[in-house]
Structure 1
Amino acid sequence: MKKTILALLALTTLVLAHGAEPKTYLPMDPVELIVYDFVFMLGIIIFSLIFPNMLNDKIKKIFLDEFTVSYAPSARALYHSLKQTRAFSQIELRLLAINNPQPLPTEIPTLLYSSFELEGISKLFKGTVNVLSEEEATYNAVINALDKANHVHFASHATFESESPLKSGLLLSNMNRLTLSDLLGVGGLRNIR
């Protein structure tokens, strides 16, 4: 069971800045509290987590090496993010995976390990997986499949247009591009995670 704890800045700063042994307040063994993630409000705590030995040379383990840490810019942003996550967790998971669109010009190398990448992701994903590989990854096929997906993974090349960033995009079969402008224009894209 995965739980998230919002660690208060005052307690954590007290633990790290006043030389207290971290194990006293924040167990380094995640099994003790069944805690795997910590969410911290931004502040001086970031410095304390990144450079703990500057504050206390007795600390042998670095907190960031032991736990996954997420940062929230404010309590309100954290609240809305958690609220959206809960609502989203009720939806059936559907992954659209784009695998190494082909053919591409000879100067663009093929993505040799993209099949292994997508195989690994597919095994981890707990829902429906729709893979468009190589010649199947056409512009129309991707646009149509986006409407049915709520998670998308691209294993493809991309282009960047510095003069017009909305024309930057992901390369699809037959050198078609799915541009940022296209993605912003797809109505169902708001459900994508």
Structure 2
Amino acid sequence: MSIEVREENSVKNLHISTKRKSRQRVVIAIAILVLVVLIGNYQVGANNQGEWRTSALQGQIAMTEVQLKQLVVAENLTVYWVGPMATALYTLDTTKANRSILTYLPQKLRSQKVIADSRVVGTYFAPNAFEDSLVAASKSGNASFKNANGNVVFFPRERTTGVFVALPDTKYQIEIFDPIPGQAISIASLRDQLTKIG
């Protein structure tokens, strides 16, 4: 083989080797770029998730039933409700200490009459909730009864849209508001209707 042919082959091999190295560099650069983007998206996702959680706990996000339950469990909250409402979304406001306000947001159908307010269930922590509720229930002007679960239900006689409920052996007083007159009283009367989420 002549020197010229060897040089030509060396130049070709050098050219091929340079092309391979260039391709390898491009592949490595792309891999690094993809990794950086993925890590960046993960961090942004984490920030967005944290922001979502904060907003959700401030009552600023309408959640599905599944999202509500997951949030309550993840945050280790005590929140009572009266069960799910078909097609409803929910907001949860925990901005004030020792209280959680759950608002039902029914998704209105065109055929339904518009109701200005939504159902609301407040969960209030108090060290002596049951005993304090017994005292409040016995005040003049209040109506009261025990439901089948032994919960004390009481409300001002003139108030037809809301009741307070105290559960034995808990440190929580629950308030149920429903814009339909008499509905809150009916809900509080039912066995096992008022339950803790999670």
Shorter-chain TM-score: what band? under 0.3
TM-score (norm 2): 0.25
